[in-house]
Amino acid sequence: MENNSNISKTKNSSHKNSNHKNNNHKNNNHKNNNYKNSPRIAVLKCIPAILMLIFIFAMSAKNAEESSEESNTVTQVIVNVASFMDLVPSNLDEAVLDNIDNVVRELAHFTEYLVLGLTLGMAVSGLNISMEKKRRYLWLLVFAVCYAISDEIHQFYVPGRCFQIQDIIVDSLGACAGILLYAHMASPREQSFPED
Under 8 Å between Cβ of 52 and 116: yes
Neighbours of 55 (CB within 10 A): 13
Residues in the chain: 196
Of the pLDDT bands very low, low, confident and very high (cuts 50, 70, 90), residue 158 is very high
The total of other beta-carbon atoms located within 10 Å of residue 140's CB is 23
pTM equals 0.73
Is the pLDDT confidence value at 49 over 90? yes
Distance of alpha carbon 118 from alpha carbon 182, whole angstroms: 5
37: confidence class by pLDDT, cuts 50, 70, 90: low
What are the extents of the domains in the chain?
Answer: 1-36, 39-192
Helix, strand, coil % in the chain, rounded to nearest 5: 85, 0, 15
8 Å CB contact between 192 and 131 = no
Nearest-angstrom CA–CA distance, 176 and 195 = 27
Quick: pLDDT tens for 102-135: 999 999 999 999 999 999 999 888 666 677 788 8
Residue from 58, 19, 56 nearest 178 by CA: 56
pLDDT in tens, 73-101: 888 888 888 888 878 787 778 888 888 88
Range scoring the smallest mean pLDDT among 34-38, 60-64, 135-139, 155-159: 34-38
